[in-house]
Amino acid sequence: MSRLMAQTLVSLVIFSVIITILLFSPSARAAAPKNEVKIPVIYDSDIGDDIDDTWALVMLLKSPEFDVKLVVGDFRKATYRAKLFAKLLTVAGRTDIPVGMAFGGKDGGGRQSLWVDDYDLSTYKGKIYEDGVQAIIDTIMNSKEKITVIAVGPLTNIAEALRRQPQIAEKARFVGMHGSVRLGYGGSKTIHAEYNVKADAKSCQTTLSAPWDITITPLDTCGLIHLRGEKYAKIRNSQDPLTKALLENYRIWRLDNKPGEIRTDETASSTLFDTVAIYLAFSHNLVQIEELPIRVTDDGFTRIDETGKKMKVATAWKDMAAFEDLLVERILAPVVKP
């Protein structure tokens, strides 16, 4: 073999190794193929109750697959939830994103109230819609592209939007964090009436029987997600402004809004249910998807039932560690600018 041929062969081998590493890295396996056209999304969330909604928002804002058209608070506490959205979007430099207020009442606070008590909602440089439900309807109906609705709370807003304008189901698809199909909280073999369903079962029945494309992550997959050890430490040590704001909220949330010393030596996240819904809006690569008929019962269970609406259900993980790696990567990344 000539020296030139040998050098060429070595170069080809090195090139093949590099391509293999890139193709089979966690990020490559986790993400969908990059499209030039971003996915237009509405994020509907009961932000300010469990902290996972805030983690999911940060993941959303740092995921290049998305064009965020609107964020909306859900399940009452409209002012509190809107203040959280507005302050976080301001930190992120994304005040171009409109904020919709929750349906069902303005009063009330939650475990992140300390972070927004001194925030004046009127100072938000973006648009605030007092009728968040109508903002959802208008955003969907005025869009030339199909909108993806990512909903990670009780479905009060979405059911009301469907009541006012059923046609939104024809112009949108639904991705949600809802239910318990074969596993319950913490991987229990006993299924549970999952909170987002049980809190407003009637609205969940309306939403999960509407004639749109539906994908859900039940507790079977989303209920297993925590960041621990080195993965969490990377986030804890980040100097990114939005990541630091996320951790400020997490530490206040852990205190349950009680005065006291806010410790910064935590070693793990809480359960990050809602982040899985963000992932499912752009990729299914790391989960097992089954098409199942799901019926929502009056007491908040999601039963496999032949009379139910068929939907895509993420019932198990193919590679949960790779999802955790992707989640860390996204939380540490810069905010995606419009």
CATH of the domain at 209: 3.90.245.10
pLDDT at 22: 44
Asked if 155 and 196 touch (Cβ cutoff 8 Å), the reply is yes
Residue 134 lies in a domain: yes
Residue found under tokens 């609205």: 203
Q: What pLDDT, on a 0 to 100 scale, did the predictor assign at position 34?
A: 52
- Alpha helix stretches (DSSP H) within the chain: 3-24, 26-30, 52-61, 78-92, 113-116, 132-141, 156-164, 195-198, 201-207, 219-222, 229-236, 241-255, 275-280, 320-332
Residue linked to tokens 């740092």? 62
Domain ranges, residue 177: 39-332
Residue 22 included in any domain: no
Answer whether residue 253 is part of any domain: yes
Is residue 14 in some structural domain? Answer: no
Residue 29 lies inside a defined structural domain of this protein? no
pLDDT at 21: 42
Residue 176 within a domain: yes
Residue 305, pLDDT score: 98
- Give the count of domains, the chain: 1
Q: Could you tell me if residue 254 is inside a domain?
A: yes
- Low-confidence residues in the chain, pLDDT < 70: 1-35, 257
The structure tokens listed for 54 are 């805030």
The pLDDT assigned to 235 comes to 97
Pairwise CA distance, residues 137 & 162, whole Å:
8
Q: Flag whether 226 is in a domain.
A: yes
